[in-house]
Chain A
Amino acid sequence: MRYVYECPVRWSDLDAFGHVNNARFLTLFEEARVALMFVGAKESGLTSFEEGIVIYRHEVDYLRPVDYGPVVRIEMWISEMRASRFTVSYELFDGGKLASRAASVCVPFDLATQRPRRLSSAERAFLKPWSE
């Protein structure tokens, strides 16, 4: 199942070409992750992601430029789950057209000890319905 997030685009996301700057795509994808793993998880009683999670890797393919408009649509799913990391995959649509494909490898992280940690069973259960 895919998680769908409508992400507002800011005027300041545009660069001199009138396109959403390529680096800002990471911020838009981040907003989709925050909506699911912080806001959505909290609604399900799970706050451990909010207590610490770091990025191990990002990869982004740019298929077409994104112009200024109120929102872009991000479809997101969990494409891989391992003991201490998982991969989030995304497709970003602008006006119904696929503009970008991306993936992020996320690692749960203990901020107190500054060490990565394993996924808890509650976290795995929360992510499972979004796995494809």
Chain B
Amino acid sequence: MTDPAEAAAGVPIAGPAVPNVYEAQVRWSDADIMGHVNHARYLSFFEDARMTLLATSPAGLAGVRGSRGYIAARVAVDYLWAAEFRPGLMLRVETMVTRVGSTSWTFDQRMYDGDHYVARCECVLVGYSYDDGKTRSLAADERDFWHQYLMPESR
């Protein structure tokens, strides 16, 4: 029988690996002169999807009192299709995890306009103590949390 205390101490949870889904509301001011959603704004949509998920994580939102901090080390975006702006447009962001390390973890995020696969984002976040000004190790509950979103092929 598994000791619950041992389970809580960092044995990865094999969750259903269902992506977290976030609906990004596109603003009028996100459109560029070409009538496309400006490519730089995509980073904000991916960020909002991550922040919404991070708010529910054991670390909470970075910068909020009592939170365990983290900081972005890498963001890479591939643009696959130009989303055409129209008022009321929502873009769906699916967020999963491809790696959970001892001090950092990696997100794989995919953005869709209906059936169109618009963009993909890879983002590495590093545990970071804002008090000490340096990297920190991820706690067992944080690693467990992110394991729930680990893509099956990454396990």
Contact = CB atoms under 8 A, between A and B. Distances in A.
Interface in B20-43: 25, 27-29
Contacts of A8: 25, 48
Interface in B86-103: 87-88
Nearest to B43: A12
A38 B27 contact: no
Interface residues of B, number: 13
B114 interface: no
Contacts of A30: 27-29
B51 interface: yes
Contacts of A39: 87-88
User: Majority SS of interface residues in chain A?
Assistant: helix
Nearest to B90: A8
Interface residue tally of chain A, by bracket?
10 to 19
Contact of B51 (A11, A35, A42, A50): A11
Contacts of A12: 44, 47-48
Contacts of B63: 18
Contacts of A34: 27-28, 87-88
B24 to A, nearest CB: 8
Contact of B48 (A11, A35, A50): A11
Nearest to A41: B87
7 contacts: A8-B48, A10-B44, A11-B48, A12-B44, A31-B28, A38-B87, A39-B87
